[in-house]
Chains A and B, each alone.
Chain A
C-alpha cells in the first residue's frame, strides 16, 4: 500500500470547492476535467451519508423515535380505543405500577423463569461446545441438528410442548409414570416455571453452543500445549485455559440471554390453554412481557404499558451494569491471583 495515488484523476480536496487559480483556464478540456473532479470530490465526500441514510431513515422512524416516544407516552393516560388522545398524567403510571401486586408478581416470575432457563442452558451449552470441539465424524450434522430448535418458532414449539407437558395424556407425565414417578401438573406454581423454562432451554441451547464453540476454536493452541506440558489434566485445561479465554463470550451470552429472558412473552402466552395474557388463573407464570401486553391490549391502557416497557428497560440496564461489575471483579481477582503466583 503506497500513498502515491494518481493526483491527475483524483486531486486532493481543497476546502471550499473550486480554487480561484483555475479561473483563467478557458480551454474546454480543462473545464470538463475540473467539473469532473469537483463532482468526484462531492461524490467522495457525500456518498457515505447516502449509504447510511436509508438505514438511519428506517431505523430512526421505527426504532429510535418509538423508543423515546414510549417514554413520553408513559407519562400520559392513553387508551387503546383512542390512541391519539393523550392526557397528561405525570408519573402516575409509574407510581401506580409500583403499588400493583401484579407488577411485582410478574417481576418475580420473570426473574424465576429467567434464572431457571438461562443458567442450565448456558452450562449445558458450554459442555456441549467442549464436546463439539473434539475432532468428530459428522461434526456438521450435530451442529445443524442442534440448530433445529432455533429454527422452530416460539409459537410452534410452545404448542407442541403444551401437549408434551399435558397433565393427563402428555408424553412427559407418561415417561414419569414409566420410571415410577407420580404425574406432575405442569401448570401449577413453580412447576410451570420449569415447564416454560424447558421450552426456552430447548430452543436456545444449540444456538449458544455454537457461539461457545466459535470462541473455543479461537483459543490459541499453544496455550493448551503449554498447559499440557505443565501436566494439566484435560479438566484442568478446561477450567484454567478454556473458561478464562471464553470470559468475554460468556459475558456476551449472559447479557443476550438475560435480555431474552426479560422479554419472555410467547412461551407463557401460549402455555396458557386459553391463550389468555394473565399467565394462568393465579397469574402464576405471568411475565413482565405478558403483563405489558395484558395492560395494553387486554385492559386497553397504553400509557401503563409504556411505563412497564420503561421499567423493563431499566431492569435490563441494571442487570447489564451488575454483569459488567461482576466480570470486572472476576478479572481483577484473576489478575491478582496471577501476580501472586508469580511472586511466590
Chain B
C-alpha cells in the first residue's frame, strides 16, 4: 500500500464502488414473481409482447434472409414481379463469381488481417492504458483521461485529409497498414477497459504483488491480464465488428486492386459487375463471417454492449 499511495493516500479508492457489476447482474434476476413488484423485469411478458418481438425479429432478419434468396437467383428473375421469396439454384455459382470477379476472396482475407490486427492492438494497448488509468497514480492522469474521452466523439471526417496526405507521402495507398494504423488503438477501448478494471481488479491484489517484489510488467502479465480477460474478449469482438464494417477511411485509402470487404462491396455497388444476384452474393459473403461470430458469441457481445452502456 505504502508506495502506491505514497503521494496521496485515499483508502476509499480501494473499496469497490457500491452498485457495481455484481449488484447489477443480481438485479437482473427477478426476486419477486407475478404482479407483486410492478414493472421492470419481474413481470412475465404477455402474448402481445411476444407478438411484437416476433415481428421485430422478423424485420431484423428478413433483409439478411432475402440477401441469400436473391443471391441464389439470377439477374432476370430479380427483374420480375413478384420478387422471389424462396431460394433458387444459383447460390454457389453466384458466390463463385463474387469470390473471383468481384475480388471477394482477397477482400475477405484482407479484412480478416485488418480487423484482426486492429482488434489485437485495441485490446492490448487499451488494457494496459486502461489499467494505468484505473489503478495507478501518475501526474496528468486526469488530464490525459479527459483528453481521451473528449476526443472519443470526434467524427473520423475530421482527420481524413491529413491522413490522406500522410499515406500519399509515405506511398502507402492501397496497402493494408494504411487502414490498420489509424484505428490501431481507440479511445473507446481505453475507456471501456478502465471502467471494467476499476471494479473488477482489486487494488489489494496489485499491492500484494508489489510487496512480493513483482515489477509492473509482471503485474500486468500475471494480475491484470487474467482479471481483464472477459472484458478483453468482449472488446476484441466489438472492435473486430467495427473494424470489419469500417467504411469511410478504407474507401479513400484503398482501391479495387487490394480491397477490404467494404471497398469491394462499394465497387459492386458502383456497377463493377452489373448482375444484381452477384451483388447480393457479394453482400452475403461480406456479412456471413460476422453473422457467424454473432451466432457463436452473441450472448457475450450483447453483454458487452449493455455493460458499456450503463457505464458510458
Give the interface of A toward B (CB within 8 A): 1-7, 9-10, 12-13, 36, 40-41, 43-45, 47-52, 54-56, 58-59, 62-67, 69-70, 73, 78, 80, 83-84, 128, 131-136, 140-164, 168-171, 174, 202, 206-207, 210-211, 213-221, 223-225, 227-228, 232, 234, 237-238, 241-242, 249, 252, 255-256, 259, 262-263, 265-266, 269-270, 273-275, 289, 292-293, 296-297, 302, 305-306, 308-310, 312-313, 316
Evaluate contact between A1 and B14: CB separation under 8 angstroms.
Answer: yes
Q: Mark B178-210, 1 if CB is under 8 A from A, else 0.
A: 000111110100100000000000011001001
Which residues of the other chain, A, contact B262 by a CB distance below 8 angstroms?
153-155, 266
Which residues of the other chain, B, contact A132 by a CB distance below 8 angstroms?
53
Within 8 A of A (CB), among B269-285: 269-271, 276, 279-280, 282-284
Evaluate contact between A153 and B265: CB separation under 8 angstroms.
Answer: yes
Which residues of the other chain, A, contact B269 by a CB distance below 8 angstroms?
155, 158-159, 162, 270, 275
Evaluate contact between A221 and B37: CB separation under 8 angstroms.
Answer: yes
Bound-state CA distance A42–B90 (Å) is 67
Evaluate contact between A155 and B247: CB separation under 8 angstroms.
Answer: yes
Bound-state CA distance A329–B153 (Å) is 23
User: What are the 5 tightest A-B residue pairs by CB atom distance, in nearest-first order?
Assistant: A275-B270, A66-B159, A144-B298, A47-B216, A214-B306
Given A152-B63, A219-B40, 18 more A-B residue pairs with CB atoms under 8 Å apart are A62-B163, A63-B154, A135-B42, A144-B299, A153-B245, A153-B286, A156-B284, A157-B63, A163-B78, A163-B276, A169-B78, A169-B81, A171-B83, A202-B59, A217-B41, A218-B310, A265-B248, A289-B248
Bound-state CA distance A58–B111 (Å) is 21
Which residues of the other chain, B, contact A269 by a CB distance below 8 angstroms?
266
Which residues of the other chain, A, contact B213 by a CB distance below 8 angstroms?
9, 36, 40
Instruction: Give the residue of B6, B28, B63 whose beta carbon is less than 8 angstroms from that of A12.
Output: B6
Which residues of the other chain, B, contact A4 by a CB distance below 8 angstroms?
1
Let me know if B109 is at the binding interface, CB within 8 A. no
24 contacts between A and B (CB under 8 A): A3-B5, A10-B210, A44-B210, A52-B133, A54-B129, A55-B185, A62-B184, A148-B64, A160-B64, A163-B280, A164-B63, A169-B80, A210-B302, A214-B307, A225-B37, A234-B39, A252-B312, A265-B157, A265-B247, A270-B269, A274-B271, A308-B157, A310-B158, A313-B158
Evaluate contact between B83 and A169: CB separation under 8 angstroms.
Answer: yes
Total number of B residues with any Cβ neighbor in A under 8 Å: 132
Evaluate contact between B276 and A309: CB separation under 8 angstroms.
Answer: no
Please report the number of residue pairs spanning A and B whose Cβ atoms sit closer than 8 angstroms. Answer: 392
Bound-state CA distance A59–B269 (Å) is 33
Evaluate contact between B40 and A221: CB separation under 8 angstroms.
Answer: yes
CB distance from A134 to the nearest CB of B (A): 4
In this complex, what residue of B is CB-closest to A135? B44
Q: A48-B141, A51-B136, A227-B38 are in contact. Are A135 and B1 (CB under 8 A)?
A: no
Bound-state CA distance A154–B136 (Å) is 40
Which residues of the other chain, B, contact A297 by a CB distance below 8 angstroms?
252
Evaluate contact between B161 and A70: CB separation under 8 angstroms.
Answer: yes
CB distance from A80 to the nearest CB of B (A): 8
Bound-state CA distance A249–B312 (Å) is 9
Q: Mark B141-171, 1 if CB is under 8 A from A, else 0.
A: 1001001100101111111111111101100
Evaluate contact between A49 and B138: CB separation under 8 angstroms.
Answer: yes
Which residues of the other chain, B, contact A306 by a CB distance below 8 angstroms?
161
Let me know if B106 is at the binding interface, CB within 8 A. no
Within 8 A of A (CB), among B1-25: 1-6, 9, 11, 14-15, 24
Instruction: Give the residue of A66, A155, A224 whose beta carbon is less than 8 angstroms from that of B40.
Output: A224
Evaluate contact between A274 and B283: CB separation under 8 angstroms.
Answer: no
Evaluate contact between A135 and B287: CB separation under 8 angstroms.
Answer: no
Give the interface of B toward A (CB within 8 A): 1-6, 9, 11, 14-15, 24, 27-28, 30-31, 37-46, 49-50, 52-53, 56-57, 59-61, 63-64, 66-67, 70, 78-83, 121, 125-126, 128-129, 131-133, 136-138, 141, 144, 147-148, 151, 153-166, 168-169, 181-185, 187, 190, 203-204, 207, 210-213, 215-217, 220, 241, 244-245, 247-248, 252, 261-262, 265-266, 268-271, 276, 279-280, 282-284, 286-287, 290-291, 293-295, 298-299, 301-302, 305-307, 309-310, 312
Bound-state CA distance A224–B46 (Å) is 19
Evaluate contact between A51 and B131: CB separation under 8 angstroms.
Answer: yes
Evaluate contact between B27 and A218: CB separation under 8 angstroms.
Answer: yes
Q: A43-B215, A65-B162, A160-B280 are in contact. Are A262 and B155 (CB under 8 A)?
A: yes
Which residues of the other chain, A, contact B280 by a CB distance below 8 angstroms?
159-160, 163
Evaluate contact between A131 and B53: CB separation under 8 angstroms.
Answer: yes
Evaluate contact between B161 and A147: CB separation under 8 angstroms.
Answer: no
Bound-state CA distance A142–B41 (Å) is 15
Evaluate contact between A5 and B207: CB separation under 8 angstroms.
Answer: yes
Bound-state CA distance A15–B70 (Å) is 72
Q: A3-B9, A171-B83 are in contact. Are A140 and B299 (CB under 8 A)?
A: yes
Evaluate contact between B2 and A10: CB separation under 8 angstroms.
Answer: yes
